[in-house]
Chains A and B, each alone.
Chain A
Amino acid sequence: MELALFVVLAVIAVIAAAGVVLSKKAATGALFLLLNFCTLAGLYILLNAQFIAVAQVIIYAGAIVVLFLFVLMLLSPGKEESQDRKPYIRVFAVFLAVLMLGEVGYVAFTGVLSGTPGQYTPEKIAEVGNVQAIGQVLFTDFLLPFELASVLLLVGIVGAVVLAKREL
């Protein structure tokens, strides 16, 4: 059951990821990205990480891709925008792709794929609750990074307002 679901989701995820890279139109690419995020959320659910799955959909699918589409809608780069592509970019891209593939292959053939089980086993999460477990860790062990991230977001919001409304 889980295996079948995993295979279906993984195949869709890979096809969608390929679609992001290969699609000629920017809007189609953005939609493939959306599909990819949704299948990733499904994979998280298979891994018993419901909160991460929903956060993935809310943040990436619900907010970030909408932002992409907004930009596409307003700037509307309908024509092929790849005229100004420099030749060396292609070489660089191939180099990066080979490097990434090499890394993935290296890890797949030497490392332990399943990872080491940590403190939060599925049983424990089922006992305290997914969101509760994340909340507890977030507000105790990772309080400083959490607060720093919120300050960072605040700076971003203030910056956006300052840039958009010069005479406020």
Chain B
Amino acid sequence: MTDNAPMMPILRVEGVSFVYDSPIGGKSVQALNDISLVVETGTILTVIGPSRSGKSTFLRLLNRLQEVSGGGHLTGTILLEGRDIYDDSYDAYQLRREVAFTFDKPQALDLSIRENILFGPRLAGITRRDELDGLVEETLQAAFLWDEVKDRLDLNANRLSGGQKQRLSIARSLALRPKLLLLDEPCSALDPVSTAAIEQALIKIKHRTTVILVTNNTKQAARIGDRTAFFLMSDLVEIGPTRVIFTNPNDQRTDDYIAGRFG
């Protein structure tokens, strides 16, 4: 599957397949099958597809987070700004700062709101007080959470609501100053108001930080995506401008999924 992008791509995925190691006594599972696509700088790519289609695995491969949660075998290459992220010379920890990740379940470290945001920057070695303070305000603003928490930054983050925690997660990811932000169904457990805030935030940040959003909510994919990819049973069925995918897809299966005929 080729995909000619007009802008300079930040990410190029070439022929990526992934097989999960067999759990004891079980069969190994093909999670991704020959995926190729590019993501342009400054855009939002939304990834849709039914569950178990490989979307989340795909996302976790993009910042090598898959390595820490279980074994598997990867073939193909993933290039971030032209550099192979699975090359031995690429520091996985540095990569995870460049390609940040937000999980589906809202979760906070058992620390204050401020220290949640600063956890990543401190690990990266940032110590200047004014720089850290600036990061806190800047990222909370970007995640539309600043106004709600600016007077209680020292409150334990676990006291926040689910929607607030998820926006905190996005702020925490942005505090790494990533080039690329990956989000794995970030709104699956949230109310419509928090969902809207997160969507707004993503649209606002995409000019600085390219976004890949995996979602089960096709309407959300249509609302904020510049381009959309449709995964089905480990395959990338189709990728293209979101408008085209949702109005005039090439593949009948894409049409069926979007129309809600399965999934």
- Do the two shown chains form a genuine complex with each other? no
Residue numbers of B with Cβ under 8 A of A are none
Residue numbers of A with Cβ under 8 A of B are none
